[in-house]
Structures are given as C-alpha cells and as structure tokens.
Amino acid sequence: MTGSTIDELWASLCSQAILGTTDFENLDACIVQHGEIARLEADVDKLTRDHQRAKNPAQRNEIYAKLHKAKTQLAQMREV
C-alpha cells in the first residue's frame, strides 16, 4: 500500500484488491476499462458460438463482422 493520506491509502487498497496493483492513479478509469474488457470478452465468446451455429451465409457474415469488430476493440483496450 502506498499513500500519505487516508484517502490515498484507501485508493491504493482498492486498486490492489480490484486490479492487483498498488498504483491508484486513475483508479476509476482503470475499473471502467477492466469492466469493458470483461464485457468485450463475453461478447467475443458469444459471437464465436453464434458464428459457429449460424447456417444462413448472410447471417453468418453479419455475425463475423460483429465478431471482428469486438476482437479489434478488445485488442485496442488491452494495449492501453
């Protein structure tokens, strides 16, 4: 834990518990980003299953486009 005030110590503790790091700078933004990554991972999993089940080529192509977009967004979020 790091910080010289109670608020900084609390932010450091929350950061350590939620994100696994003591860096509490931009904690709120990191929590939001962590949630977005989790949502995108769930979307990719769902779209992958939907793509495998789709029989109609038009529907399959539409799902693939959504899957590709979600994978691209996920890769961009992980880079930051």
pTM of the prediction?
0.72
Q: Residue 22: its pLDDT value, please?
A: 67
The answer to whether 37 and 78 have CB atoms below 8 angstroms apart is: yes
pLDDT digits (tens, 9 = 90+) for 45-78: 999 999 999 999 999 999 999 999 999 999 999 8
> With b meaning 16 or more CB within 10 Å and e meaning fewer, what string describes 28-52?
eebeeeeeeeeebeebbeebeebbe
Q: What residue segments make up the domains of the chain, in order of their start?
A: 6-79
